[in-house]
Structure formats: C-alpha cells, structure tokens
C-alpha cells in the first residue's frame, strides 16, 4: 500500500514526523537509490528507503516482549502512574502500541506489546484456547483437591464459571509456589479464582502466552522485539495468516 514518504519513515518510531520532513528536505533520504526531497511523495512499503545513508528496515507492525516489573500499569497511558509504554527505550517506541492482555499493577512477567489489533485480538480470544501460564505464591497451603477443583472449572464469587484451569503444586509449604494455566483473561481472574478457595495471592508472574515464553535473559523492565520464529509460532497457534 503506497503512503507518504514522511509518514512511512516516521511510522517506524525513531524519528518524529517533523524531523523526518527536515531530513527529506535536506536531501538525506533516498528512495530506490534516488534522493527524494518531497515529503508527500507516495512510496510503496517494498521501496528501498535510506535515511542518512542507513537502510530503513520497514515493519508494518511491531511485536515486543517485556518483562514487566511490579508497580507499573499495564495500559497505554496514565496521568499519574508509570505504564508499560513509559518503560520502552526510545528506539522501540512507536505510535499505537498497546499491551495485548493486561496484568495487574503488582503482577510481573510477560507482556506482549504490539500495534497489530487483529493479532492481539486472536491471542486473547478464549475460543483460540491460548494458555497463559503463571507462577503464583499463595498465603496458605494447597492440596490436590484444589487442583481438582481448578480442573473442573472454578465458579467465581459473582457466579461466573471459569474455563478449566491447570494447577500444579511446585513447592508444598505454608506459602506454596504453584503454576497455573488459564485460557481466558477476566479481571483479576487468578486472584479471584484463589479467593474462592480462601487463598490470597502474594506474588504472581506470567511465564508464557501460548508458545511465547518469557525470555529468561530479559531483566525486569527490559523489552526486546520477538523473533520471526516466535512470531510464526504465535501466528500458527492463533491461525493468523498475515505475515510481519
């Protein structure tokens, strides 16, 4: 799809529209090997564009993996509290990014940020059965009976029936560590599920969304683009056809 040269360059996130226009007018931008000084010139996504001599690697959408720390809101903007978007290094910032699926302010771990609405929608749609795995620390012991009840489908305090969830006890103690897998994303879902069996969540970390696993090399607060392989696996799991 053809679009204005200044818009195409600015959409990649590293330069503002006005910086882009300045560079174009200064003759610092080429299209298919020819200097172009017209910011409104229509170019195809397949054109070879250089900015300051560097090739522009055009990506229609971006997909970022973040290891979210506690205390950060999982929304695009908030006037008071820092959000996941505020944590992005400037090179990864881009208009239209949003978190695909929310974590609570105190929950840590995997967040996928994208500007691809269809992709996010498929990832979150319960009918696609994408399992979100979490590690959870609780304030009281767990038994196999709890695991059985989670597998049957917990009924929340407001009467909502949850889809079956897997619950595995990883560390059996007074404050046990467990792993839970759910295929929906209701508000405070895991905390509310444990609330029905009188257990409070003291720590919660998302480990994966379908085939996408949190990269153990990412420290809390860090973000990296997902790889082509990770994208392809996610796309396959959600029957998504469009390519990056």
Is 188 a binder of ligand URA (CB under 6 A)?
yes
Q: Can you tell me which of 29, 167, 204, 209 binds ligand URA, judged by CB under 6 A?
A: 204
Our answer to whether residue 198 is catalytic in this structure is: no
Radius of gyration, CA atoms only, the chain: 22
Minimum distance of ligand URA from residue 100's CB (angstroms): 13
Is 31 a binder of ligand URA (CB under 6 A)?
no
Query: β-strands 201-209, 108-114: how paired?
Result: parallel
Q: Which residue has the tokens 């300045």?
A: 22
| Contact (CB, 8 A) for 191 and 201 | yes
Binding mask 84-123 for ligand URA (x = CB under 6 A): -------------------xx--x----------------
Region from 45-53, 84-92, 148-156, 188-196 binding ligand URA, contact rule CB under 6 A: 188-196
Minimum distance of ligand URA from residue 201's CB (angstroms): 7
Instruction: Give 49's strand partners.
Output: 31
Minimum distance of ligand URA from residue 155's CB (angstroms): 16
Q: Which residue has the tokens 């992005």?
A: 88
Q: Which structure tokens are listed for 130?
A: 């994408």
Alpha helices in 11-78 (DSSP H): 17-25
Query: How far is the C-alpha of 181 from the C-alpha of 191, rounded, in Å?
Result: 13
Contact set with ligand URA (CB under 6 A): 103-104, 107, 188-191, 204
């Amino acid at each position: 799809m053809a679009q204005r040269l200044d818009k195409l360059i600015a959409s990649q996130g590293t330069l503002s529209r006005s910086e882009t226009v300045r560079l174009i007018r200064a003759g610092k931008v080429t299209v298919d090997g020819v200097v172009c000084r017209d910011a409104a010139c229509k170019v195809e996504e397949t054109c070879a564009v250089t900015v300051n001599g560097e090739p522009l690697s055009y990506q229609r959408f971006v997909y970022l993996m973040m290891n979210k720390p506690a205390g950060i809101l999982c929304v695009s903007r908030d006037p008071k509290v820092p959000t996941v978007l505020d944590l992005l290094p400037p090179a990864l910032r881009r208009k239209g990014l949003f978190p695909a699926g929310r974590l609570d302010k105190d929950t840590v771990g995997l967040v996928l940020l994208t500007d691809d609405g269809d992709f996010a929608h498929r990832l979150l749609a319960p009918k696609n059965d994408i399992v979100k795995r979490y590690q959870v620390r609780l304030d009281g012991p767990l038994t196999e009976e709890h695991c059985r009840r989670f597998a049957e489908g917990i009924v929340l305090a407001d009467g909502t029936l949850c889809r079956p969830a897997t619950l595995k006890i990883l560390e059996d103690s007074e404050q046990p560590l467990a792993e839970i897998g759910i295929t929906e994303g209701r508000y405070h879902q895991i905390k509310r599920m444990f609330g029905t069996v009188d257990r409070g969540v003291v720590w919660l970390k998302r480990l994966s969304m379908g085939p996408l696993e949190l990269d153990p090399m990412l420290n809390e607060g860090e973000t990296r683009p997902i790889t082509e392989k990770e994208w392809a696996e996610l796309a396959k799991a959600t029957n998504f056809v469009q390519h990056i």
